Structures are given as C-alpha cells and as structure tokens.
Structure 1
C-alpha cells in the first residue's frame, strides 16, 4: 500500500511539472508583423508565489527627446527608473487610471523612480515635449514578453494545462487595447498566430 502511495505521488508530481513553450506571431489585417505587442499567459492554476522578475532592466530612458523603450513590461510592484540623458529637463507623467503619477522637472544625468503597484497600462508623456510617448505595461504573470521586429514572441516553461493568452498593443482596436483567449498548454512546443486591427492611434490618455 505504501509503495502504491509513493508511486501515485511520483506520478502526480511529474504530471504537475510538465511545461511547454508557446510562440505567438502577431500580425495586422494585411499580414504585416507587429512589434512591441505585449503577450502574456496566465495559467488557470495560478502563478508561482513570490516576486516576479524579468531579464530586462526596469528602466525607461529619456534620450534624444524620446522615451526608450517605447513599450516596457513591468511586474506588479516593480520599481522603474527614469534616467534623463538629454541636455534639457523633462517632466514625466502618466494620467492613466490606476497608474497616475508625475515626476516634476529634472535635468541631465539625473534619475527618478516610481513603483507600479497596479496591473494595467501607464501611457507615458512629457509635460514639456509633446512628441514624447511610451507605454509601461504592468503585469502579474512571469510569462510575459513583447514581440520583436518579426512580430513573434516565445514564452517558455509555461505549466501545462488551461491558461489565458492576452495580446496588448497601444494601437490594437479593441476595448482596452487588449484581447484575451483561452488556450491549452501542452508539454510540446506550440505556435499561434494572432491577427488584429492595429489601425488605432496611440496617444497619451
């Protein structure tokens, strides 16, 4: 009886450890690749406890009167730095619901930071330079990344089972600029293509 219990425990443990990779290709209605689309997967069973960490720096630089990068993915609770590398001063702000804040004027080689505690989007602008625009996407899952120039993104090591796949982009013409669909993750690598209307105008809001 004890041996049977141990065997069942081992089988259960092995099954729960199964994980797979998912590659998503993001395209517009003409089949053109869309870069900077944020793709997330949230397993129905939940995400691991503890803080979420990503491999990229939580930093949005101001240089040549632009924000870099255009889209930054940040885990909920993440602290983002805003270094100013320009010769002029900047006044960084977001009026987005749930992520509203302002960092008043500061100059070259100075940096400020802000903690993002609310899942959602912060549309970033500068109160001095209207052409400056960027987005911070705050997520609560470690399976998150943005598409490159080829429109693709691969999320690795997702636990097998039911999950929710989301695609967000500032120009995606759907409510909240984000769409969701149910997926089933298996131990085998899988590919999906997402096609949407990306004709919307990205703007600070």
Structure 2
C-alpha cells in the first residue's frame, strides 16, 4: 500500500525539524589572552552565507564622554547607521582612515549634522583629531549572530546550527586589526570553547596634525 503524498510531506517535514533540533546547540565561547587573562570586548560572529534580511535597522550610538568613545567597541550590522553625539563640553573631530569606512566629522559639539552609514563589513578604527588618546572601534558584521564578550571573556551563542564557522576578533590583538581568527565547529563540538588571542599594547596613531587643537583641550 502506497503512503499518501500528504503523509509523505508531513514525514519529510518532521524529519527536517528533528534534524534541525538535533544539531542546534548552545555554545559558550571563552576568550583569553596569551597569559590566560579573560578578554572583554572581543567579538564572536557566526558566519553565514545568507544573513537574515531586516527591513529596518535601529540607529546605533557611538557617544563621546570624558574624552573617550563610549562604548569602546560598537557592534553594528552591514548597512546600519551610527550617530556620533558629543556629550563633552568641548569639541571633537571624529575620523577614520579604515578601508571599511573612511570618513570624518569635523570639529563639532552636540549632535553632528547626520549619522554615518556603514555599508561594508569589517573593522573601523575611530580617532579624534583633537585628542590623540581617544580611540574606538566599530565592528560591522554581515548580519548573522554576533556577540561581544563580557568582563569574564564569555560570549554565549544560543541555538546555533552545527556544523558552523565562527570568527573572533579583539581590538588589542597582535594580528592585523582587519584580520579575524576563524574556527570551525563540528556537530559534536563541546558546549564550551576556549579561544586564545595573542594581544599587544596599542601603538601610537597618526592624526591629521595639531592645527585644530588650540583651545579645545
């Protein structure tokens, strides 16, 4: 006796759902430096060929407080806009020479004229042309699951489908800043993954010069 076509479809659908459930897992990624110290502000991205399309991305905020970028590392999605409010009572001149998104917001206080759109995925290093100690980072993800580690160096990946590939990145890494470390996760990967990133002290950055600095410190 032949199984009706409708029943076959139902069985195929249940088989697919069961397979998805079997290979969906929660994985905790623990990131530390070469000395075993946990690294916060590391970014873990689950790579995907077809990121889920979103009709509207919220406006992200990279603030400037006490001559520092807040947060130090901002994670956004490709195509997302970022606003750069200046919450200090002095002017800042925000810029980036990064290939992912070169731009500058010339001397301003309060709100800039318009947000900046980050169309390309990659890492954007921010500086202030007035205050050399200011440095910040924008990590532009392709649109898949992307998590930033907390103070304990942990990032929880919820219900990811295995096998999968992830990348890890951290602003103090010894490797070039545009480079990410790729890690493959198998179907039988453990629920906890330890990753080491070799770090180095940040190097001095070049700025446009000192011609804008007078009266702004």
Shorter-chain TM band: 0.7 to 0.9
- 1:63 Cα deviation after fit: 1.0
Instruction: Give the corresponding residue for 1:142.
Output: 144
> Could you state the TM-score of these two structures normalised by the residue count of structure 2?
0.82
The match for 1:40 among 45, 58, 83 is 45
- 1:168 Cα deviation after fit: 0.5
How many residues of Structure 1 are paired with residues of Structure 2 in the alignment? Answer: 199
- Larger strand proportion, structure 1 or 2? 1
Instruction: Give the corresponding residue for 2:105.
Output: 103
Q: Which deviations, in whole Å up to 9, do the C-alpha atoms of 1:104-123 show, x marking residues without a partner?
A: 1111x324410100000110
Q: Rate the CA distance shift 1:81–1:203 in 2: closer, same or farther, 3 A.
A: farther
Q: Which runs of 5+ in 2 are unaligned?
A: 207-217
1:73–1:139 CA contact under 8 A, matched in 2? yes
1:124–1:204 CA contact under 8 A, matched in 2? no
> Could you state the TM-score of these two structures normalised by the residue count of structure 1?
0.86
RMSD: 2.4
1:168–1:179 CA contact under 8 A, matched in 2? yes
1:41–1:141 CA contact under 8 A, matched in 2? no
Q: Distance in 1 between matches of 2:115 and 2:13?
A: 47
Q: Superposed, which structure 2 residues align to 1:46-85 within 5 Å?
A: 46-50=50-54, 58-85=60-87
Q: Distance in 2 between matches of 1:201 and 1:106?
A: 27
Q: Rate the CA distance shift 1:42–1:203 in 2: closer, same or farther, 3 A.
A: farther
Q: Distance in 2 between matches of 1:185 and 1:49?
A: 26
Q: Rate the CA distance shift 1:126–1:77 in 2: closer, same or farther, 3 A.
A: same
Q: Secondary structure at the match of 1:84?
A: coil
Q: Distance in 2 between matches of 1:140 and 1:171?
A: 22
Q: Which deviations, in whole Å up to 9, do the C-alpha atoms of 1:70-97 show, x marking residues without a partner?
A: 0010100011111111111111111001
Q: Which runs of 5+ in 1 are unaligned?
A: none
Instruction: Give the corresponding residue for 1:23.
Output: 28
